[in-house]
């Protein structure tokens, strides 16, 4: 079964109901949408891959999805069990980005972790930065500049990213998730450079 896998898509998040609708779990929420849109079968709990997994088809290619159950800071231990080192270029990670305003996304490849502990763990465990990412904005947007606004001085970043989305934001996530799915389709079908050109 697993030898046929052409692409690996991982959503980053934290296990538990208290984290379900928080900003830090937006990668899991996006992957939920992807699985639903592509009519993946039900997730299966896997001790082998330290998370919940499923296999389906996107853009006529086999795709294996993983929700690590290791918590964000140790995501790399699960990803390294799944993705062979010679196939990291087939990996796409969906994750939150505090440097982007809510509603925006960026496709990137080969970047550093930019302070994101989940990405840091993946880079360390895989021994490479050579994988694709769909970065999902979670920061407030400035009314003056339209750019991301960091949390107010004195507000710990960890507290902000673990806050739940507002009802208005959750409603907008449906449209954001559609764009994430389109970007993932482009990565799989045409490559990450095409996805950057079309979706950034």
133 Cβ contact list (under 8 Å, min separation 6): 92, 93, 94, 95, 107, 108, 109, 111, 119
User: CA 26 → CA 16, 23, 67, 74, 123, distances in Å?
Assistant: 14, 5, 12, 17, 20
> Residue 110 carries which DSSP code?
S
Is 24 one of the catalytic residues?
yes
Considering only CA atoms, give the Rg of the chain: 16
* Short-list 147, 154, 178, CA closest to 37: 178
Q: Among 24, 95, 116, 199, which one carries the catalytic annotation?
A: 24
**Axis crossing angle, helix 167-190 with helix 192-199, rounded to the nearest 10:** 140
Is the Cβ–Cβ distance between 103 and 146 less than 8 Å? Answer: no
> How does DSSP assign 156-197, residue by residue?
-HHHHHTSBPPHHHHHHHHHHHHHHHHHHHHHHHH-HHHHHH
CB atoms within 10 A of CB 11: 28
> What are the residue numbers of the active site?
24
């Amino acid at each position: 079964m697993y030898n046929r896998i052409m692409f690996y898509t991982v959503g980053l998040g934290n296990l538990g109901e208290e984290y379900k609708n928080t900003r830090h779990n937006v990668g899991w929420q996006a992957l939920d949408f992807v699985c639903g849109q592509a009519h993946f079968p039900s997730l299966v709990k896997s001790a082998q891959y330290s998370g919940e997994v499923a296999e389906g088809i996107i853009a006529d290619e086999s795709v294996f999805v993983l929700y690590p159950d290791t918590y964000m800071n140790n995501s790399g231990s699960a990803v390294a069990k799944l993705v062979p080192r010679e196939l990291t270029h087939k990996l796409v990670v969906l994750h939150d980005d505090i440097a982007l305003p809510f509603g925006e996304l960026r496709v990137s490849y080969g970047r550093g972790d930019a302070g994101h502990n989940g990405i840091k763990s993946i880079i360390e465990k895989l021994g490479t930065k050579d994988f694709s990412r769909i970065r999902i904005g979670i920061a407030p947007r400035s009314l003056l500049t339209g750019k991301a606004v960091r949390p107010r001085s004195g507000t710990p970043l960890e507290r902000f990213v673990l806050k739940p989305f507002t009802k208005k934001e959750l409603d907008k996530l449906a449209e954001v998730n559609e764009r994430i799915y389109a970007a993932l389709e482009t990565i799989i079908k045409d490559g990450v450079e095409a996805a950057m050109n079309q979706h950034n």
